[in-house]
Structure 1
Amino acid sequence: MTTRTLAVVSAGLSQPSSTRMLADKLAAATAARLAEDGVEVKIVTVELRDVATDVMNNMLTGFPSPRLDAVIESVTGADGLIAVTPIFTTSYSGLFKTFFDVLDNTSLTDMPVLIGATAGTARHSLALDYAIRPMFTYLHAVVAPTSVFAASEDWGSGADTVKTLPNRIDRAAGELAALVLRSDRSSLVRDPFTLDPSFNPTGGFQAS
């Protein structure tokens, strides 16, 4: 059976967290879709709150701690990524953005990505399209067409009879699974000595 690794990044701050809940549901749905195609999925979940200090120190010093380095490798080396953030002040959380700021800007090239967000009200749902999606597009990731936003009421009885949260999750998971199946990232190797046009090491990906 073919095996793929799915990295799940959750920027929730509380515990338990609705952001983590959404991330887990997206991961489970994607794994189920891939299993239908005979693909075994290894899910690696990263709670950014657990490495928040490491992320900030990396911003200040330019060097990741061993713990953060392991997290970065697990995310950038995955076959697909699910990234979910709470919405603060109409955009992604500072911790979410800072984590992706410390990644090499070529390390997510061609990465299949499913984005999600949570907030108290659906008024913040557009942040997925005007803030989060452009960030991953800048990083040259391949972002699934459907993004998933969950407001507080989405965790209730599901009064939205047109597009309930489970329906949105299932659709997005199907899109990510298809992207992972078509992706050839597993045939790429990480080369820390790759040079960008300014001749600085980028740690980008090159074909083996």
Structure 2
Amino acid sequence: MKRTLAVVSAGLRLPSSTRLLTDRLAEAAGHELKQLGAEADVSFVEVRDHGHDLVNHLLAGYPSPELRAVLDTVAHADGLIAVTPTFTASYNGLFKMFFDSLDDTALVDKPVLIAATGGTGRHSLILEQALRPMFTYLHAAVVTTAVFAAPEDWGAGETAQGSLAARIGRAARELAREVDRWNGPSIEDPYDNPTPFDRLLAGE
């Protein structure tokens, strides 16, 4: 079975630690899905490439064809990996603009792995204070393990307890399990069971 993963990276430069973390998470998630017997079709979204289109869309309300295609890729994926650098103790503006541009129901019940990079480990609370609340508001199914990478994590031994590699592996396994059993959002169509007009007139 083929499963689709959308991988959103909001780093401002290439190369960047944000994209490096993004690539490692995507590789690990693809590996874990393969272990479960599923083939991963991974689509990468570099938000910086759509910065001007995002601003124009939020001002005018109409996405460009290129931005619409990217938003649809995320909305139709079976799972999402979202990674941002830390700016002023939160996600950066491009990251927020991108998810502000998605349809309200695009992430309902969708398995999501959140991750961030920062200049110091003291910024790791961004995951629980900024990212998780935002995706919870969007009704996404955020996996338990979130991944933060500080500069010291890149030089740490891969076998050390709590190392970046271990956290990436754990988060990837959690995401793969949820993606493998995901059957799409459970969104009720309000037009499936409309209230009869006579009941509306009666104030029901």
Aligned to 1:135: 134
Give unpaired runs (5+ residues) of structure 1.
Answer: 196-208
In the TM superposition, what are the counterparts of 1:136-155 in structure 2 within 5 Å? 136-155=135-154
Q: Which amino acid is 2:52 matched to? A: T
- Give yes or no for contact 2:9–2:84 (8 Å, CA) kept in 1: yes
Assess, with a 3 A threshold, how the Cα gap between structure 1 residues 159 and 7 changes in structure 2: closer, same or farther.
closer
Identity fraction in percent: 57
TM-score, normalised relative to structure 1:
0.87
1:159 CA displacement = 8.3
Q: Which amino acid is 2:30 matched to? A: A
In the TM superposition, what are the counterparts of 1:30-109 in structure 2 within 5 Å? 30-109=29-108
Helix, strand or coil at the partner of 2:7:
strand
Aligned to 1:13: 12
State whether structure 2 residue 122 is matched by structure 1 residue 123: yes
| Deviation digits for residues 19-73 of structure 1 (CA, Å, limit 9, x no counterpart) | 1111111111011011011100000000000001011111100110000000000
Assess, with a 3 A threshold, how the Cα gap between structure 1 residues 189 and 112 changes in structure 2: closer, same or farther.
closer
More strand by share: 1
1:194 CA displacement = 7.2
Cα distance in 2 for residues equivalent to 1:92 and 1:107: 20
Cα distance in 1 for residues equivalent to 2:145 and 2:139: 17
1:162 CA displacement = 2.1
Give unpaired runs (5+ residues) of structure 2.
Answer: 192-204
1:158 CA displacement = 3.0
Q: Which amino acid is 1:58 matched to? A: H
1:150 CA displacement = 0.1
Matched positions, count? 191
TM-score, normalised relative to structure 2:
0.89
Aligned to 1:176: 175
Q: Which amino acid is 2:44 matched to? A: T
Cα distance in 2 for residues equivalent to 1:159 and 1:180: 26
1:104 CA displacement = 1.2
